[in-house]
Amino acid sequence: MKKPDVKVVLLGDMNVGKTSLLHRYTERKFKDTISTVGGAFFLKQWGPYNISIWDTAGREQFHGLGSMYCRGASAVILTYDVTNWQSLAELEERFLSLTDTANHDCIYALVGNKADLTDLKAQLPLDLSGASPASLSGTGLHKQVPREEAMALYERILRYKGLDEKSSLPAEKMCFETSAKTGYNVDTLFETLFDLVLPSILRKRNENLVSPTVDLEEYREASARRGKTCC
Amino acid sequence: MDRDGHPDGEAEAEGMNICRPLKETIPSADTLATSLSLLGNHMFSYPVERDDGATSDQQEPPDSYLSHVTVHDERPDEEPDSNHRESPQTEDMDNSDCHSNDSRTADGGTKEDVVDIDQSDSGEFVVTMLAKAKLEEQGIGVKGRSSPLLEVGTEETPAFMSHRDEDVTADSWREHRKHVFVLSEAGKPIYSRYGSEEALSSTMGVMMALVSFVQSGDNIIRSVYSEGHTVVFLQKGPLVLVCVSSSRQSEEQLRGELLYVYYQIISMLTQASISRIFEHKKNYDLRRLLAGSEKILDGLLNLVDSDPSFLLAAIHCLPLASSLRDSLSQILQKAITPNLVFSILIAKNQLLTIVQEKTVIEDTRLEPADVHLLLNLIGASSAFQAGEIWTPICLPLFNPDCYFYAYISYLDPPECTVCLLLLSTDKEAFYAVAECKRKIEEAMLAQNSLSLIAKAQSYSVSQVGVSDLRHFMYKPFDVPDNHRQLTQFTSPEMEAPYSSEEEKMRLLDLYRYMHSRIHSTSRPLKLIYHVAERETLLAWVTSKFELYTCFSPLVTKACAITAITKLLRWIKKEEERLFIRYPPKYSTTPNPSKSSRGGKSDQQDSTDNGFLQFVLTRQKLKTLRLTLFQEE
Ligand SMILES: Nc1nc2c(ncn2[C@@H]2O[C@H](COP(=O)(O)OP(=O)(O)OP(=O)(O)O)[C@@H](O)[C@H]2O)c(=O)[nH]1
Ligand SMILES: [Mg+2]
């Protein structure tokens, strides 16, 4: 195993789609999942860097492990389900305190998954593959969490962390709505975060007196590939 | 006195669920009747025709056609009713005439016997008759009544649960071969194998009413028999487990399966935390903590039905040249880190090798049931196989109150058939343990182990070279010189005519039947020669082994015995390959006097002494590492 340069953690209630999001991003597929036990560790090659990703279990049963997974994290993805208001509330009640062990300059993202169930635009994957017009019909499910709610929570998180709103990343940029099912916004989410943790990687490398042979162009390209941000 | 020309030891009386007469009459048989009838309506609403049993070709035990309720006292069984011959059979191979004295009781008579016993006791008679009456859909004025529990249950709207939304009122739901329910003592639903617990809460409530009714009379309800169904109850601490089965397995077997379910729940939550939770709040909804674990329990129950490891309480390892197994063990032995206690290598869901920490192995050994739970967990969590999993897990038979931390990773992505499982006592040890995996991976690459493992496979019964032998299961018992060995069994692949799922299940059912006869509590047997319709089976238990064999139908007893002699010789010859002979050890405790590998001692210095403490006070370990998952 290559030594990871940086750690990203997925947190959120069970069933919101953390595993599905990661699976969509790494395997480019949406398939049946089994509720995660404990946590699963993945290593993602990002240019010359190794990014470790912890996909944690949302089940209350595993709550005790959460702070261990978060220790030294550079980015935390707080995930909820847009069709389930409680899943947003849980983030504040149950998961936020776990991030106390994260780096002090840790980046937080709020991710409302399953957008395909509520938003027409999320039913089409950005690459337009495999979506038939028929699959567009009948969303039916009521969106319980408007993006504004998530943005308000983001502001509260900054306050909780004692971070200055002006010098921090804006809520507009850090609140995503995604669909692991269609792939909507999934690459954007991960790649935005990876780009944002780059400074953290560079600083760590410098601290370790390793000359960073960085090819920054590579990242620009990678993120430009799917360069649409959420709206 | 062979029956129907079958030289068969099957003719003796069955229906032996001897009921010890109740000392007092059951106080409110009415309540019980209601409960039973509701249960009946829920579970077996279709009328079941009576079968006289005696004419059955398959020679099913006649008691499965009877309906009676068995209420056992909690006290150990006394000498059972004198109507039945109860001295344990001690037939052995030496006794060539071993079955001639078996057929003393005619089947019809047996059935009457049991009913008579039931009728001789008023309380039990009422229960029996009510149960029977209800099941025949001619209730004694109870049909219109309904329990408050039932009403509460049906008013609840089922929560959204996509995989478990089976319609519990449909016939297909009732017709499942084996239902399993878990509920709390307060009657709260915790788990149901089919359909969501919410939709089933009425059924659960009825079962709970049944349990508490019998508890109130100082009797623990243990089983209910009806035409075609056996209902078995098991109470463990604050949990009540119920199995409703039409599989014709024995009560003991079904209870054993419920125990596995209980252990799997313990493996996720620990016994201590379950008791603590319910002491705190009798009404607690345990689904909060178990939500998401349904698939693990579902998977366990499917394994229990399809894998004889559970029946035999033994481990099935993958046959492997002993030199290869040894080299794999050595690889594991060398990749250690402080607080690592078990290193287990698995291929195709079967054990390749297992290496244990020295102090652990001196103290105890890994029980087969704990290994089964681990294998099931791995099977159930393998959906996303690319990652490395780190999760707390309790091994209930090792210590029901504390957690290990399991590292699970596949060594051959993307195929994901070879799995490494490392167990540590240190919650924080993930990166150190992951480093062990890297070492193991490297060593296996150097030795080309993966491609050697890929070639390993289960064997065909044809390799034994005994004609007419179709299949067998052989489980050697501990003998003094390998006392600390893992309990294992060996068995060939199931081949034609047992290749289809139905036929496999049929053979397993025959084995389960033989097993229940051999291990019958009322009348254990040492040897059974059973001529079934499409095969002949011979089961034999000695002080050294337990053996189940399946032959083509026309094999005579003498032939079968010769064949078994050959089979035993073959197993002896292949022993090294078929079993893990001496599970190796390593030392990861900071104990210099015991450490034989000097090269590793530098690694061990940094250990906190948590592990030693862990091993030494294993039994009293209620407090250490228990605080991890407390809610507060
Ligand atoms: N419609 C829709 N369903 C989704 C989406 N993402 C996940 N799901 C479904 O939601 C369920 C849960 O997904 P998981 O990825 O296992 O959820 P999780 O957050 O990892 O859950 P835990 O591991 O228990 O914490 C699965 O049935 C998925 O198929 C999505 O974007 N759209
Ligand atoms: Mg998950």
Among A216-225, B367-376, B523-532, B591-600, the minimum mean pLDDT is found in B591-600
Tokens of B400: 């029901």
Same domain, B165 and B288: yes
Instruction: Provide the 8-state DSSP code for A3.
Output: P
* Residue B595 or B574, more confident: B574
| Overall average pLDDT of the B278-303 stretch | 88
Same domain, B520 and B376: yes
At residue B197, the pLDDT reads 62
Strand order, beta sheet including A107-113: A175-177, A107-113, A75-81, A6-12, A49-56, A39-46, B388-393, B404-410, B418-424, B340-347, B350-357, B585-586
Same domain, B475 and B326: yes
Decide if B377 and A37 are in contact by the 8 Å CB cutoff: yes
| Overall average pLDDT of the B389-394 stretch | 94
- Residue B631, in any domain of the structure: no
Same domain, B91 and B168: no
- Residue B602, in any domain of the structure: no
At residue A139, the pLDDT reads 55
Q: What is the per-residue pLDDT across B537-556, written as a single tens digit (0 to 9) for each?
A: 999 999 899 999 999 998 99
- Residue B545, in any domain of the structure: yes
Chain B CA closest to residue A20: B384
Task: From residue A41, give the alpha-carbon distance in Å to each of A29, A67, A172, B336, B438.
Answer: 19, 15, 29, 20, 14
How many domains are contained in chain A?
1
Write down the ipTM of this complex: 0.84
Provide the whole-model pTM: 0.76
Same domain, B260 and B316: no
Chain A CA closest to residue B625: A64
For atom 6 of ligand 1, the residue with the nearest CA is A17
Helix axes B501-518 and B294-306, enclosed angle (nearest 10): 80
| Overall average pLDDT of the A181-200 stretch | 92
Residue A74, min C-alpha distance to chain B (Å) = 17
Domain that holds residue B514: 79-104+308-593
Cβ contacts of B434 on chain A, cutoff 8 Å: 1, 41
- Residue A140, in any domain of the structure: yes
CATH of the domain at A64: 3.40.50.300
Same domain, B447 and B466: yes
What are B's interface residues with A at a Cβ cutoff of 8 A?
268-269, 288-293, 295-296, 377, 380-381, 383-384, 386-392, 406, 427-428, 430, 434-435, 437-438, 628-631
Same domain, B486 and B466: yes
B473 vs B456: CA distance, rounded Å:
19
* Residue B477 or B258, more confident: B258
- Residue B610, in any domain of the structure: no
Decide if A37 and B384 are in contact by the 8 Å CB cutoff: no
Domain that holds residue A71: 6-230
The rounded percent of chain B whose pLDDT value lies above 70 is 59
Within 6 A (CB) of ligand 1 lie: A 12, 14-20, 33, 35-36, 57-59, 113-114, 116-117, 179-181; B 292
At residue B453, the pLDDT reads 95
Q: Regarding beta strands B527-531 and B488-489, do their DSSP bridges make them parallel or antiparallel, or are they unpaired? A: unpaired
At residue B556, the pLDDT reads 92
Q: What is the per-residue pLDDT across B64-94, written as a single tens digit (0 to 9) for each?
A: 333 344 444 333 333 333 344 333 343 333 3
Strand order, beta sheet including B220-226: B69-72, B220-226, B229-236, B239-245, B178-184, B189-192
- Residue B599, in any domain of the structure: no
How many domains are contained in chain B?
2
End-to-end Cα separation, chain B, in angstroms? 69
At residue A48, the pLDDT reads 87
State yes or no: cis peptide before A212, omega within 30 of 0: no
Same domain, B254 and B350: no
Given a cut of 50, is residue B603 above it in pLDDT? no
At residue B199, the pLDDT reads 62
Q: Single out the residue of A168, A191, A60 nearest to residue A105, CA to CA.
A: A168
Same domain, B100 and B110: no
Q: What is the per-residue pLDDT across B186-208, written as a single tens digit (0 to 9) for each?
A: 878 888 888 766 666 667 766 77
CATH of the domain at B36: 3.30.450.70
Chain B CA closest to residue A22: B384
**Residue that has been written with the tokens 């909780």 in this structure:** A160
Q: What is the per-residue pLDDT across B501-535, written as a single tens digit (0 to 9) for each?
A: 999 999 999 999 999 999 988 888 899 999 999 99
Tokens of B603: 């690694």
CATH of the domain at B327: 3.30.450.30
Same domain, B479 and B571: yes
Ligand nearest to the CA of A185: 1
Q: Letter for the amino acid at B103?
A: S
B359 vs B396: CA distance, rounded Å:
19
- Residue B90, in any domain of the structure: yes
Closest to A38 (Cβ–Cβ): which among B288, B296, B389?
A: B389
Dist. CA A35 → ligand 2 center (Å): 5
Among A150-164, A204-218, B37-51, B123-137, the minimum mean pLDDT is found in B123-137
Given a cut of 90, is residue B184 above it in pLDDT? no
Reported as a pLDDT band with limits 50, 70 and 90, residue B564 is very high
- Residue B329, in any domain of the structure: yes
Q: What is the mean pLDDT of chain B?
A: 71
At residue B47, the pLDDT reads 38
Q: What is the per-residue pLDDT across B375-386, written as a single tens digit (0 to 9) for each?
A: 998 887 765 566
- Residue B603, in any domain of the structure: no
Q: What is the per-residue pLDDT across A34-91, written as a single tens digit (0 to 9) for each?
A: 889 899 999 988 888 889 999 999 998 898 888 889 999 999 999 999 999 999 999 9
Q: What is the per-residue pLDDT across B225-243, written as a single tens digit (0 to 9) for each?
A: 777 788 888 889 899 898 8
